[in-house]
Homo-oligomer: A and B are copies of this chain.
Amino acid sequence: MKLYTYFRSSAAFRIRIALNLKGLAYEPAFVHLAKGEHRAPAYGTVNPQALLPTLDDGGELLTQSLAIIEYLDETRPAVPLLPKDALGRARVRSLSMLIACEIHPVNNLRVLQHLKRVLGQNEEQVNAWYRHWIADGLAKFEADLGKAKAPGKFCHGDAPTLADCCLVPQIFNAQRYQCDTAAYPATMRVFAECMKLDAFDRAQPSRQPDAE
């Protein structure tokens, strides 16, 4: 398998974790997001959405990180990343989407660039935007974790799931932007638990060959 990735892409980070958790080897292909390499025509033939990541599984090109992880879970079911019961799966997907649909998109690189270039926001204002949506989203995440019927070590139960693959990159972003995470103790406990695992540790941005 070949993974089109960028060290700082949160969505690629999710896939790196999932592949590591499942013990699946992959060859990385680096696409420099900050330099706009994802918008180059050559990459458009790989991913018509012009986004990272893309997973090339024997010539089949898979896009959108959560769709890729669901695909991996269906085709490589050893070390499952979704629970067996429909309610558990719904909960894991909901926590994942709280990050992937509510927090991450609003702080995406292209949104930050638009704030700067089109709306004329300065760095401090862009950072305030970033922290506002992290705080808004993590408060919701913390509230949701607090409603768990059977709280475990991870987001759902005592093994990592898709939700943990989403949470960890989001917390890395929060820390990079010096967001205060003291108000989210349950969330940060799960984050700390994840980071004890080699699969999460090895996937982090600074450990990637293309890290700057």
Contact = CB atoms under 8 A, between A and B. Distances in A.
Contacts of A125: 119
Give the oligomeric copy count: 2
B63 A94 contact: yes
Interface of A: 44, 48-51, 60, 62-64, 66-68, 70-71, 74-75, 86-87, 89-91, 93-94, 96-98, 100-102, 104-106, 108, 110-111, 114, 118-119, 121, 125, 132, 136, 140, 143-144, 146-147
Contacts of A100: 97, 101
A212 B179 CA distance: 39
A122 to B, nearest CB: 12
A140 B50 contact: yes
Contacts of A102: 49, 51, 105
16 contacts: A48-B140, A48-B144, A50-B143, A63-B94, A64-B94, A64-B98, A66-B101, A67-B93, A70-B90, A71-B86, A71-B89, A97-B101, A102-B105, A106-B111, A110-B136, A119-B121
